[in-house]
Amino acid sequence: MRIVCLHTADSNITLFDAAARAAGYESLELVHVVRADLLAAAERAGGLTDEIAAQTREVLLTLTDNADAVLLNCSTLGPCVDEALAAQAAPMPVLRADAALAQRAVEGGGKVVVLCTVSTTLDPTTHLFAQAATRTAANVEVQLIGGAWERFRAGDTAAYLSTIAAATDAAYENGADVVAFAQTSMAGAALLVTHGTKPLTTPAIALAAAVRAAALAA
């Protein structure tokens, strides 16, 4: 099985490869494509524009060649996986990674806190999780961790992850039943959390969804 992942940060590649190994997907071939320019353009524009969405859909359709499934791993670009993409007749399943995360986060109900570090992901993440929660008793709250993304951009990964872990601990102290990290780059902070259960992160959950989708399509 061959799954192609579209990322917007090089650092996310190792996180997905590690998740695949941990899940025992020995026969799974992961192919990684990084288009940091798409996220950078969305940040400059203050969010996802029609032009950036069209560019992203074009890339996704190209990646379906010789793939069993394509996984879009960027919460800002996530809405590109929509009816418009389906109307272009993608030959293989194309999934947004955070959609699987949202489904998992809300399935047990309760107070769900979704943490983000990039402002451009607030609107799409809020919409996605709210939509998922309509079928459950979950109460979703999406929060932006101020200052975290600047640390990531500066290459200070340790400070980035510790800031996320502190926000996670605070969310649990304030009554969260579930904490979910909206972006893959946040995954490493799960190991630093000292309160509550382990936060939900994208790589393992998204890969499992892609594997299921590819198997069903086959």
Q: Where are the beta strands (DSSP E) in the chain?
A: 2-7, 29-34, 69-73, 94-96, 110-116, 138-144, 178-181
Clarify whether residues 104 and 176 are in a common domain: yes
| Per-residue pLDDT band at 87 (split at 50, 70, 90) | low
pLDDT in the model for residue 198: 92
DSSP line for 11-34: THHHHHHHHHHHHT-TT-EEEEEE
Q: Which one is predicted more confidently, 205 or 89?
A: 205
Helix (H) or strand (E) run with residue 110 in it: strand 110-116
Clarify whether residues 73 and 118 are in a common domain: no
Clarify whether residues 121 and 143 are in a common domain: yes
Residues 68, 83: Cα–Cα separation, whole Å: 20
pTM across the whole model: 0.90
- What is the rounded average pLDDT of the residues 115-125? 94
pLDDT in the model for residue 83: 60
Residue-range definition of the domain harbouring residue 133 = 99-201
- What is the rounded average pLDDT of the residues 96-118? 95
Clarify whether residues 137 and 122 are in a common domain: yes
Residues 159, 189: Cα–Cα separation, whole Å: 10
Clarify whether residues 132 and 183 are in a common domain: yes
pLDDT in the model for residue 90: 65
Helix (H) or strand (E) run with residue 129 in it: helix 122-133
Clarify whether residues 195 and 207 are in a common domain: no
**What does the pLDDT look like over 123-176, one tens digit per residue?**
999 999 999 999 898 999 999 999 999 999 999 999 999 999 999 999 999 999
Average pLDDT value for the chain: 92
Residue 100 contacts residue 128 (beta carbons within 8 Å): no
Residue 58 contacts residue 29 (beta carbons within 8 Å): no
**What does the pLDDT look like over 20-79, one tens digit per residue?**
999 998 889 999 999 999 999 999 999 999 999 999 999 998 998 889 999 999 999 999
pLDDT in the model for residue 92: 80
Residues 61, 75: Cα–Cα separation, whole Å: 18
Maximal CA-CA distance, the chain? 47
Residues 154, 93: Cα–Cα separation, whole Å: 35
Clarify whether residues 91 and 145 are in a common domain: no
Residues 11, 32: Cα–Cα separation, whole Å: 11
Task: Give the domain CATH number at 24.
Answer: 3.40.50.1860
The domain total for the chain is 2
